[in-house]
Chains A and B, each alone.
Chain A
Amino acid sequence: MRFSVPLVLFLGLSVFLLLGLDQDPQKIPSPFIGKPVPAFSLETVESASGTVSTQDYAGKPYVINVWGSWCPACYDEHPYLLEYAAQGQLPIIGLNWKDTREKAQSWLAQLGDPYVANAFDPVGDAGINLGVYGAPESFLIGADGIVLYKHVGPLTPDVWQEQFLARVQL
Chain B
Amino acid sequence: MKNKIDRKNRLDGRTFAMFTLPLLLIVLLCAPLTQAIDAQTLNDPVLQIRYVAIGKELRCLVCQNQSIYDSNAELAQDLRRQVREMLEDGRADDEIYRYMIERYGDYVRYRPPWRVNTLLLQLFPVFIALFGFWMLWGTLRKHRSVNAMKAGSPELENSESAQDSGADDTANTSTERR
Contacts and interface: CB of A to CB of B under 8 A. Distances in A.
Nearest to A9: B131
A31 B105 contact: yes
Is the interface on chain B under 10, 10 to 19, 20 to 34, or 35 or more residues?
10 to 19
A25 interface: yes
Contacts of B61: 28, 133-134
Interface residues of A, number: 18
A129 B102 CA distance: 9
Interface string B87-113: 000000000000001111111000000
B64 A129 contact: no
Nearest to B131: A9
A30 B79 contact: no
Binding site secondary structure of chain B: helix
Interface string A25-53: 11011111000000000000000000000
A28 B107 contact: yes
A25 B101 CA distance: 17
Contact of A130 (B64, B78, B103, B166): B103
Interface in B45-75: 61-62, 64, 74-75
A30 B79 CA distance: 17
Contact of B102 (A29, A31, A134): A31
A125 interface: yes
A124 B105 contact: no
Which residue of A29, A32, A123, A128 has the most chain B CB atoms within 10 A of its CB atom? Answer: A128
28 contacts: A2-B166, A26-B62, A26-B64, A28-B104, A29-B107, A30-B105, A31-B101, A31-B102, A31-B103, A31-B104, A31-B106, A32-B103, A98-B78, A123-B78, A124-B74, A124-B78, A125-B78, A125-B82, A128-B82, A128-B103, A129-B103, A130-B103, A131-B104, A131-B105, A133-B61, A133-B62, A134-B61, A134-B75
